[in-house]
Chain A
Amino acid sequence: MQMSETKLHDTEISPEAPIARGTVTRRGFLKASGLLMGVLGTSSAFLSLAPSRAWALELAVLSDSQGKALMAFSQTLYPHATLDDAAYALVVKALDNSAADKATLKMLDEGVRTLDLLTGGSFLGANAQTRLAAARAMEGTPFFGACRGTTVNNLYNNPIAFAHFGYQGSAWEHGGYKHRGFDDLIWLPNPPESASPAKD
């Protein structure tokens, strides 16, 4: 809900989009500007759901290096050590979408350059502490706001994140949780019937 920072409706981004269905050789046939790719970790909670361990994300506007730097910046803002890079790639995809606007592209480009300057030439090459210091120095800028807001709205709103953090997403098609664990907590005593009657 960061209305001033990013568009509210980034939800058109399909969570499945960055998970490549095949190889990445289509790149030459597309007008993609940059490309992010990776492999799902073998311990990824999402692995059983994904069609393939390899994933690739084509960028329409941003370059490879811009995409990688923005992904690393997103990881600096909201570091989850064991969350797959593919989830962060969704943030970059959303930023890439917003960069269709020239002023936004300019802001992102300048922001990445500033990050590099703040980290002695290469944000990607810097260690976690140096990256964090650079992020702190950028706080309050439109670039920081756009990256933070886009991360908040996208990083946690996809099946990769759902599996990682233990959230089950849409419940309707599964009949809700009435017979699927809404009251399965057993490490505390069950409340009495007067406080919590049995389900029908």
Chain B
Amino acid sequence: MANKFDYSDAAVVVVIGSGAGGGTLANELCQRGVKVVLLEAGKRESSATFVNDEWASFGQLAWLDKRTTSGSWRVAKDFGGLPAWICKTVGGSTVHWAGASLRIQPHEFKARTTYGDVPGTSLQDWPLDYEELAPYYARAEDKMGVTRTNDIPGLPGNNNFKVFYNGAKKVGYSASTGHMAINSRPRADRASCLQLGFCFQGCKSGAKWSTLYTEVPAAERTGNLDLRTQAHAAQIEHDASGKVTGVVYFDADGKRQRQRARAVCVAGNSIETPRLLLMSASSRFKDGLANSSGQVGRNYQRHLTGSVYAEMPEPVHMYRGTTMAGIISEEARFDTSRGFAGGYELETLSLGLPFMPAFLDPGAWGPEYASALDNYRFMAGLWIVGEDMPQATNRVSLHASERDQWGLPVPNVHYDDHPNDIAMRTHAFSRGRALYEAVGAKRVHYTPPYPSTHNLGTCRMSANARDGVVNKHGQAHDIKNLFISDGSQFTTGAAENPTLTIVSLAIRQAEFIAEQMTQRNI
């Protein structure tokens, strides 16, 4: 298909990645009359092509390019070639996400001030606060159709929620089906949830918000979007003045192309985004673009995560219905009497039978493990989403020798749990156990982290250029027409699922970029 805009058109803004950050930003820019070339490494699927089949869907949607891992985190042992479970497809990981849409709490934007000097961390306050982001949160919630906002009713709870709710009540928590970007009623030309139970596999009813069938087509209708699929960015180029001038990428035929640009916005998720900046090193920027601080790729955060699965006395069939509509927020408070800084959310979660043996206890085998799987239909499950501590040594870097299909250095993801992370996970596991035992659980399993779905912090925002990569608008401290537009910007991870914040930041960033273009600053 012919490109809408010429390779040599230096008036376009190039956005790399079509997920929560890039897809939203591209649409918001197009709505303001800005011409956008949106480069997406994956193919374009649709609700019609999604499959209710866990392994087949994984093959269809997941980012499976070569990656390596190091560090003491268990993911490196269990899933050494797959540090993250994110997507390579139009819509990015908004195709895979479960829909939980929570605002970061005011005190979490001031993590360094609130938590103090936690040894071994690189904690900082965000350069923006809750009040500044609040109006954008409101716009994002409306855009995404978040339940329990904008007069949208909550979702009906499924069987897994019933167990979760009753256990929560017994141990003194309150639970609800939460704030979910899943239609409980038809809204914005999308149907209501059919309780398919395959939220992770791409929503076949379109009830769950994804940029694939909201932001991207809305941008296309403006006539200002040139979406190029199977376009894998390889390098961002700059001129003698240090401004970026365009992006070199491999197209669907594997041919190297160069798209000129007035500005470049990177939203490849927190592994590919710093990788691209590091791969764009030049004689002027020897350590990679926007990296005078040395922070590109550092402070990688992933939420501490972990799951609790419980074998209940009666059948649950947890796989029926929404994968994650159940939230307890009481433990997301700041309260160091628990032995750790930061907090965590507890959220219902289920895996289908095909995935369960691979994840319940990765690598496990034998009669006892098999007996747990025998009780699959009795299982209830929850996921722990907690704030992990930023550490400078947890980082994405370029592998010294391993190369991908384009001959580009593969990213290595290094991660060590901080003692605060371990203390929080231990606490959360025991609370999950108490919750399920309160309603009769016969056996409880502590499931270690899955490959990371919440990848954050590798190009973080900072007030001061020496402490981070971008300012509070996601604009690179070093290069004024280069932006970071995904979760890489997060200064700290907070306890909440990140998508709502990524979308809110993208709406705000689009305003800033359009304004800067009007003022001829970029």
Q: Chain A: residues with CB nearer than 8 A to chain B?
A: 1-4, 8-11, 77-80, 132, 135, 148, 152-153, 155-157, 161-162, 165-172, 175-178, 180-185, 187-191, 194-200
**A162 to B315, alpha carbons, bound, how many Å?**
15
CB <8 Å contact, B373 and A197: no
Could you tell me if A132 and B366 are in contact, using CB atoms closer than 8 angstroms? yes
Q: Which of A9, A165, A172 has most chain B Cβ within 10 Å? A: A172
Q: Which of B344-398 contact A (CB under 8 A)?
A: 352-354, 356-359, 362-363, 365-367, 369-370, 373-374, 376-377
Contact indicator B357/A197 (Cβ below 8 Å): no
Q: Do A157 and B163 touch across chains, with their CB atoms under 8 A apart?
A: no
B173-228 with Cβ < 8 A to chain A = 174-177, 184-185, 192-198, 204-205
Q: Could you say which residues of chain A place their CB within 8 Å of the CB of B358?
A: 1-2, 152-153
Q: Do A178 and B373 touch (CB < 8 A)?
A: no
3 pairs of A and B residues whose beta carbons are closest in the complex: A176-B194, A166-B377, A196-B157
Q: Closest CB-CB distance, A3 to chain B, in whole Å? A: 4
A79-B370, A170-B52 given; A185·B159 CB < 8 A: yes
- Stretch in contact with the other chain, from B53-61, B110-118, B265-273, B457-465: B53-61
Which of B197, B314, B353 gathers most chain A CB within 10 Å? B353
User: Whole-angstrom distance between the alpha carbons of A195 and B328 in the complex?
Assistant: 11
What residues of chain A lie closer than 8 Å to B415, measured between beta carbons?
A: none
Residue from the list A3, A161, A176 in contact with B195, Cβ < 8 A: A176
Q: Nearest-CB distance from B331 to chain A (Å)?
A: 17
- Size bracket of the B interface: 35 or more
A13 to chain B, nearest CB (A): 10
Q: CB-CB < 8 A to A171: which residues of B?
A: 52, 194, 196-198, 320
Asked whether B80 is an interface residue with its Cβ less than 8 Å from the other chain, the reply is yes
Q: Interface centre among A168, A177, A184, A195, by most B CB within 10 Å? A: A195
What are 21 pairs between A and B in contact, CB < 8 Å? A1-B359, A3-B79, A8-B64, A9-B55, A78-B365, A132-B367, A148-B365, A166-B317, A166-B376, A168-B320, A170-B52, A177-B194, A177-B195, A178-B193, A182-B158, A185-B159, A195-B165, A195-B174, A195-B177, A197-B156, A198-B156
What chain B residues lie within 8 Å of A4 (beta carbons)?
A: 80-81
Instruction: Tell me the dominant secondary structure on chain B's binding face.
Output: loop
Chain B 147-176 interface residues, beta-carbon cutoff 8 Å to A: 153-159, 161-163, 165-166, 174-176
Contact of B192 among A2, A198, A200 (CB under 8 A): A200
* Closest B residue, CB atoms, query A196: B157
Q: CB-nearest residue of chain A relative to B159?
A: A185
Q: Are B166 and A189 in contact (CB under 8 A)?
A: yes
Which residue of chain B has its CB nearest to the CB of A2?
B358
- Out of B177, B316, B365, name the residue touching A197 (CB < 8 Å): B177
Contact indicator B365/A199 (Cβ below 8 Å) = no
Q: Complex Cα distance A165/B451, Å?
A: 25
Q: Known contacts A165-B377, A171-B198; is A183 also within 8 Å of B162 by CB?
A: yes
Interface residues of B in 32-66 (CB under 8 A from A): 51-56, 58-59, 64
Bound: A184/B197 CA distance, A: 15
- The smallest beta-carbon distance between B87 and chain A, in angstroms, is 15
Q: Are A184 and B176 in contact (CB under 8 A)?
A: no
Interchain CA distance A177-B195 in the complex, whole Å: 5
Cβ-defined partner of B80 (8 Å) among A3, A132, A168, A182: A3
In the docked arrangement, what's the CA distance between A190 and B197, Å?
Answer: 20
CB-CB under 8 A from B54, the residues of chain A are: 157
**Cα A168 to Cα B313 with chains together (Å):** 20
Knowing A166-B315, A170-B51, A196-B154 are in contact, say whether A176-B159 is a contact too (CB < 8 A).
no
Interface residue B439 (Cβ < 8 Å from any Cβ of A):
yes
With a CB–CB cut-off of 8 A, which chain A residues contact B79? 1, 3
Is A181 a contact of B356 with CB atoms below 8 Å?
A: no
Whether A177 contacts B320 in the complex (CB less than 8 A), given A78-B357, A185-B162, A185-B163, comes out as yes
Q: Quick check: B316 and A185 within 8 Å, CB to CB?
A: yes
CA distance A79 to B174 in the complex (A): 39
On chain A, the residues within 8 Å of B177 by CB distance are 195-197
The residue on A at minimum CB distance from B316 is A185
In the complex, whether B82 has a CB less than 8 A from a CB of chain A is yes
Return chain A residues, CB-CB under 8 Å to B52: 169-172
Q: Separation in Å of the B350 CB from the closest CB of chain A?
A: 11
The answer to whether B157 touches A191 (Cβ under 8 A) is yes
Residues of B contacting A135 with CB < 8 Å? 365-366
A137 CA / B315 CA spacing, docked (Å): 37
Q: Is the CB of A178 within 8 A of B194?
A: yes
Q: Bound state CA distance, A162 and B52, in angstroms?
A: 13
> Is B137 among interface residues, defined by CB-CB distance under 8 A?
no
Q: Please, how many angstroms separate the alpha-carbon atoms of A165 and B163 in the complex?
A: 20
> When A8-B64, A157-B55, A176-B197 are in contact, do A183 and B82 touch as well, CB less than 8 Å?
no
Residue in B53, B196, B204, B451 whose beta carbon sits within 8 Å of that of A11 in the complex: B53
On whether the beta carbons of A152 and B357 are closer than 8 Å, the reply is yes
